[in-house]
Amino acid sequence: MLTLKELMDWGIDLKSVLFDINLTTNNLYILKHKNSISFKTQHSEVYLNLWYQQYFICIIQLAKLFSDSGQQKRSISKLCKKITMEDFDDELNQILLLNKTKLNDVLKSKEDLMSVVAEITLEMENKSVIIEKIKSLRDKVFAHTDPNIPEDDISVEDLICLKDFANKIYNDIFGKIFDENYHFQLTQKYDFRSIIEAFMKIE
Residue 145's pLDDT is 56
- CA–CA separation, 195 and 192 (whole Å): 5
Residue of 105 and 199 predicted with greater confidence: 105
pLDDT > 80? residue 32:
yes
Is the whole model's pTM more than 0.85, yes or no? yes
Mean pLDDT of 39-56: 92
10, 173 in Cβ contact below 8 A? no
Convert the pLDDT of each residue in 129-166 to its tens digit: 999 999 888 887 776 655 555 554 789 999 999 999 99
CB-side neighbour CA atoms (13 Å) of 66: 33
Q: Phi/psi at 43 (nearest 5 deg)?
A: -135, 60
Percent of the chain with pLDDT over 70: 92
Residue-level pLDDT at 114: 95
The whole-number average pLDDT for the span 8-19 is 95
- Secondary structure class of 149 (helix, strand, coil): coil
Helix (H) or strand (E) holding 202: none
pLDDT digits (tens, 9 = 90+) for 58-104: 999 999 999 887 677 889 999 999 999 999 999 999 999 999 999 88
**Helical ranges in the chain per DSSP H:** 4-32, 37-42, 44-66, 76-85, 90-99, 110-126, 128-140, 156-170, 176-177, 193-201
- 202 — pLDDT class (breaks 50, 70, 90): low
Q: Quick count: other Cβ atoms within 10 Å of Cβ 20?
A: 17
Residue 30 three-state SS: helix
* Distance, CA of 100 to CA of 110 (rounded, Å): 12
Mean pLDDT of the chain: 89
* Predicted pLDDT of residue 147: 56
**Cα angle at 129 between 184 and 140, to 5 degrees?**
90
